[in-house]
Amino acid sequence: MAVPKSKKSKSRTRMRRAHDRLDMNTYIEDSSSGELRRPHHIDLKTGVYRGKQILEPSEEI
């Protein structure tokens, strides 16, 4: 079984774990409605995706 020759320092451990954090969600302003939405997602208020009507507009959300 592989065993490390020496202890890994806190600095090395924390540098390795620095990339494990979660990134914040990205939101963009919709050009037609001005609402914030996720990129590459349907705008749930208007039901439009890439200029095409996919869903009926909803007032509940």
Encode the chain (61 residues) as per-residue pLDDT tens digits. Answer: 889 899 999 999 999 999 898 889 999 998 877 888 899 998 888 888 888 998 888 776 5
Assess if residue 9 is contained within a domain: no
Assess if residue 59 is contained within a domain: yes
Assess if residue 1 is contained within a domain: no
Assess if residue 10 is contained within a domain: no
Give residue 47's pLDDT. 86
Question: What backbone torsions phi and psi does residue 11 show, to the nearest 5 degrees?
Answer: -65, -45
Number of domains in the chain: 1
Containing structural domain, residue 33: 23-61
Assess if residue 36 is contained within a domain: yes
- Residue pair 44/38 in contact by the 8 Å Cβ criterion: no
Assess if residue 55 is contained within a domain: yes
Assess if residue 32 is contained within a domain: yes
